[in-house]
Structure 1
Amino acid sequence: MTLTDLLVRISLVVVLMILVGGVGIIGVGRIRSFRPHALRRLRLVAPYLLLLALVLVGNSLVRDVGPELSWIIGWRITGWIAGVEGTFVATLQHYAHPALTAYFSYIYIYGYSFLLAFPVVAYFLLPDDRPIRETAIAYSINYAVGVVCYVLFIAYGPRNVMPDMVDQLLYTNWPESHLLTSEVNANVNVFPSLHTSLSATVAVLAYRTREQYPYWLPIAAVLAGSVAVSTMYLGIHWAIDVLGGVALAAISVAGAVWLTSPDRRDTPLDRAGRRLRAVVDRPLAYLLALADDRSQEADERTGSD
């Protein structure tokens, strides 16, 4: 299997999960009623999605040179983490079972991907656009701070430090997954755990939207907890990495809530946001006008009939 084959497979499964979640969590009625407002909502939230896209591109570029840069300016903290934590991950793996290994392997890939993608769709469909803005900003903070930490801190995971005690369960259970993980991570990028930070971020945001999507909160909480445990069970992260991820999630959500607060008005960040909006307003305005024209033409044809 090639990387492309694996990405297609993951994408298809995640899309199917989103469709099922759309019916069971969002509701068909909400989806249908939202269709006429889709382009206008896109115009409102596009700057935030563009910000996230730019952060992801920057994150990818920095990760390409990050490991080399880390060896120049980074702090080597592997020994400190191992000294503080000891054999916790190895002890956790003593309870390994084929069923658990399969569960946590799929949670680490499929569950995590669904957990991050579904809120973007679900919150986009809400009448209030603040949840989707909070999500885009919180994700952006996670990725931006995370990549800085990866440059500043050199830390190997337990599977690299204690290979005689910690097994690489993800790869032994699902060898093809190495095609994906080797593309997005270096083996010195373990602190903090971005899997944990982003999953915890989604869980907290699910709590904030529990009135709109009551079924999403327990699902997000279970998935987020499973992702955090999977990073240790599979030997990828230390418990300290997971705690660092939880702290990063708290910072990211707090920052997103503050930045989207209705009490905030004319600040430098707001002005920067308006400039970012100007980049996307013109093409979206054109699409809106085109959609309105077609809608009017359809109404005229219906009236003439």
Structure 2
Amino acid sequence: MDYRADFTKSIYRIEGDFVATIQHLFQNDVLTYISSYFYVVVFPSVMIASIGIYTFQKNYKLFFAICYALMINYMIAIPFYLFFPVNEVWYFHPNVDLLITHVFPTFEQDYRPLSGLDNCFPSLHTSISVSMAIIAFKNRSTFWKYFVPCSSAFIIFSIFYLGIHWLSDMSAGVLLGVFAARLALRLSEGRMVLGERALLQRWKKNEM
């Protein structure tokens, strides 16, 4: 696409030094390692584990919900990445560093082909984390019900601390995540109802 718009300056005018303040306030080596680990490892692991756990529990309502939520998040986010490009904070702001490279030195080479530098608004790390937390809270496992929301909250903190996302990205991501989770749960419930009706009709035919 020959589309060269850049809305980063507009975002910066609204937010100023919010991310820089967060990063400088909390910066230390231990937190950098933990935040990077959650951003790179825990985030995708929770996605994969969610699908595995709900399948193992035979909780097909939540299984379908997490699948729908992931699709909805991406379907809504991609048009923004194409037509509302915003660069990551560290790339634009002179006082913000990409701390994740302190832990994963080849992060840019490995990760960048999967996500453009201006694929920032909304934050998919935020939106998917929020969706996973809402869906996990409906699970019967007490550990999972609280582990996922706590991990999601820390991942959202990490996007600021590591110098990746703007506050606007996070805010839009939260709204998208809530919308995707609620819609996904409704779609999943509808699918389960249709499945139950189909089974009931099949049972009635067999009885006849």
Return the match for 1:171 from 101, 108, 118: 101
| 2:72 corresponds to 1:141 | yes
**SS of residue in 2 equivalent to 1:154:** coil
> What do the CA deviations read for 1:243-283 (whole angstroms, capped 9, x no partner)?
111111011112112212249978xxx9xxxxxxxxxxxxx
Return the match for 1:196 from 119, 123, 126: 126
Distance (whole Å) between structure 1 residues aligned to residue 178 and residue 18 of structure 2:
24
Q: After TM superposition, list the pairs within 5 Å mapping 1:1-305 onto structure 2.
A: 68-71=1-4, 76-94=6-24, 95-162=26-93, 164-209=94-139, 212-262=140-190
> What do the CA deviations read for 1:14-58 (whole angstroms, capped 9, x no partner)?
xxxxxxxxxxxxxxxxxxxxxxxxxxxxxxxxxxxxxxxxxxxxx
- Counterpart of 2:134, as a letter, is V
Q: 1:151 to 1:189 in 2, by over 3 A?
A: same
2:206 maps to none
Q: 1:128 to 1:169 in 2, by over 3 A?
A: closer
> What do the CA deviations read for 1:171-230 (whole angstroms, capped 9, x no partner)?
133212223321211111100000111111111111111xx2111022111210111111
Distance (whole Å) between structure 2 residues aligned to residue 113 and residue 263 of structure 1:
26
Contact 2:6/2:85, CA 8 A, preserved across alignment:
yes
Q: 1:99 to 1:265 in 2, by over 3 A?
A: closer
Contact 1:159/1:167, CA 8 A, preserved across alignment:
yes
Runs of 4+ in 1 over 6 A off after TM superposition: 263-266
Distance (whole Å) between structure 1 residues aligned to residue 50 and residue 78 of structure 2:
23
Deviates more, 1:254-263 or 1:78-87: 254-263
Distance (whole Å) between structure 2 residues aligned to residue 241 and residue 132 of structure 1:
27
Number of paired residues?
194
Distance (whole Å) between structure 2 residues aligned to residue 262 and residue 170 of structure 1:
41
User: What is the aligned-residue identity percentage?
Assistant: 26
Distance (whole Å) between structure 1 residues aligned to residue 167 and residue 51 of structure 2:
28
Contact 2:61/2:192, CA 8 A, preserved across alignment:
no
Q: 1:262 to 1:182 in 2, by over 3 A?
A: closer
State the shift of 1:160 in Å: 1.3
Q: Which has the larger radius of gyration?
A: 1
Q: 1:107 to 1:69 in 2, by over 3 A?
A: farther
- Counterpart of 1:131, as a letter, is L
Give the structure-2-normalised TM-score. Answer: 0.87
Give the structure-1-normalised TM-score. Answer: 0.60
Structure with greater contact order relative to length (CA < 8 Å, sep ≥ 6): 2
Distance (whole Å) between structure 2 residues aligned to residue 250 and residue 161 of structure 1:
29
**SS of residue in 2 equivalent to 1:235:** coil
**SS of residue in 1 equivalent to 2:141:** coil
Distance (whole Å) between structure 2 residues aligned to residue 70 and residue 112 of structure 1:
31
Distance (whole Å) between structure 2 residues aligned to residue 127 and residue 113 of structure 1:
21
Could you list the runs of 5+ residues in structure 1 that have no partner in the other structure? 1-67, 271-305
